[in-house]
Amino acid sequence: MARRQLIARTKKKSRVTRSETYLVNHKYLGDEPVFPKNANTSISRAFNWYNAMCDVNDAREYCIQFFNDNNKPELVKIVKAIPEKLFPLTSAWTLRMRSRGAPVDIEMLKRAVSRLKNVKSSEETEDNSVANTNVNKVSIQDRVNDKTNDIIGSVEEQIDKNEEFSLYDWMKSNNIPAIYAPRIAAYYLPVLSELLEALEGGDEQLNEAYSHYSKKQLEDRVLFFNTIIEDAERYADTTKKVRKPRKPRAISVEKKLKNFKYQKEDNSYKIASINPEKIIGAQELWTFNTKYKLLTVFRAIDRGGLQVKGTSIINYDENNSVTKRTGRKPEVYVDKVLNGGKIVLRKLMDELKGDASLAHRINENTILLKVVI
């Protein structure tokens, strides 16, 4: 009897409950951040703590508590109606940090409240189908502001490491768009101004706030943040200079010939024009003006060939392009153009003696006889 092959059972992964996860995170992240007066607590680190330690339910409670404390019952209703999948967690963490004394400025607070207002309520989401749901669009300015806050948060993390930090090198290695550089400089400009005032020692409150710094340490901080601002400004200027110019958009043949006028056929000479699209890129174009009996040859100035702009032929060599009068027997020279080869065409204009100014504009009396590619 053949033996059944034994299959090794994979060991089941033990399920980690939220409480266990909380304890593990708490071991490394500690308690909820506090922001006592004159403390140097990093807002970006605080965001990381709330993202790791809190969930949507905590976020909703934080918002409700904040608006209750500030007597905003209409905003409490909005917060309660927001569905879990649409709840803006960043706004909740911002309000929570503000209530705990974090240095959250008014603009940042307004954006947090605005995002909460703009989220559709759960009743509207249930009543409307997915196809008909209109999600409020975030403006470009808000997107730039949010991205700026994210970048500044990352910069703050680098500064908190107390290592030698070059903002210019960091922005270059992370391919930060130049549009954010002036905003970073503007963010750190008040920091530098405050440090300069503290270094002068004329403000009692600043003296108390920076009492744990020696004069040498304050001078180092001034130099450091001054370099941060200079790096941001230099990055913006350098990035704009090395930016590749946009390639001109290719214009279609139909658009080039939109206003191009020419004579399609002439019964007296029994000739008709070629398709004008053949002019684009051709090395030579031969035309005949049926009204004034003028024969013209346009020869391209380079390998790009002839081009059309409006009613004119462009990109031709002025020294080798010529117009001449055909005299009493124009049909003879027209026939030579239509049936002659390159050698005949090369010598044809030398046979004509009647010089005329170059007719670079094509009109309703001009027959497009031939092109040479």
pLDDT tens for 20-32 read: 555 655 665 677 8
Q: Per the domain annotation, does 7 fall within a domain?
A: no
C-alpha–C-alpha distance, residues 327 and 65, integer Å: 98
Q: Per the domain annotation, does 8 fall within a domain?
A: no
Q: Per the domain annotation, does 1 fall within a domain?
A: no
Residue 125 has pLDDT above 80, yes or no: no
Indicate whether 235 and 265 sit together in one domain.
no
pLDDT band at 2; cut points 50, 70, 90? very low
**What value does the mean pLDDT take over residues 325-329?**
86
User: Which three-class secondary structure state does DSSP give residue 63?
Assistant: helix
Supply angle C-alpha 294, 300, 305, rounded to 5.
125
pLDDT band at 160; cut points 50, 70, 90? confident
Q: Per the domain annotation, does 138 fall within a domain?
A: no
Q: Which of 242, 262, 285 is the last residue of a domain?
A: 242
Indicate whether 173 and 219 sit together in one domain.
yes
On average, the pLDDT of the chain sits at 81
Q: Per the domain annotation, does 11 fall within a domain?
A: no
Indicate whether 26 and 94 sit together in one domain.
yes
Indicate whether 278 and 312 sit together in one domain.
yes
Indicate whether 346 and 267 sit together in one domain.
yes
Indicate whether 115 and 53 sit together in one domain.
yes
Q: Per the domain annotation, does 35 fall within a domain?
A: yes
Indicate whether 227 and 278 sit together in one domain.
no
Residue 18 has pLDDT above 90, yes or no: no
Q: Which of 211, 242, 273 is the last residue of a domain?
A: 242
Q: Per the domain annotation, does 144 fall within a domain?
A: no
User: Each residue of 245-280: pLDDT tens digit?
Assistant: 677 777 788 888 888 899 999 888 889 999 989 998
Indicate whether 286 and 321 sit together in one domain.
yes
Tokens representing 140 are: 């470009």
User: Which three-class secondary structure state does DSSP give residue 170?
Assistant: helix
Q: Which of 208, 242, 276 is the last residue of a domain?
A: 242
Indicate whether 261 and 337 sit together in one domain.
yes
Report how many domains make up the chain.
3
Indicate whether 104 and 159 sit together in one domain.
no
CA distances from 142 to 110, 116, 137, 178, 241 (A): 11, 13, 10, 17, 27
pLDDT band at 60; cut points 50, 70, 90? very high
Least confident of 120-124, 202-206, 319-323, 368-372: 120-124
Indicate whether 276 and 360 sit together in one domain.
yes
Indicate whether 233 and 258 sit together in one domain.
no
The single-letter DSSP state of residue 316 is: B
Helical H runs in the chain?
Answer: 18-29, 43-53, 56-69, 73-81, 89-99, 106-118, 122-127, 140-160, 167-173, 181-200, 204-209, 215-242, 253-256, 330-339, 342-351
Q: Which domain holds residue 48?
A: 17-126
Residue 351 has pLDDT above 50, yes or no: yes
Q: SS3 helix, strand, coil % of the chain, rounded to 5?
A: 50, 10, 40
pTM metric for this prediction: 0.38
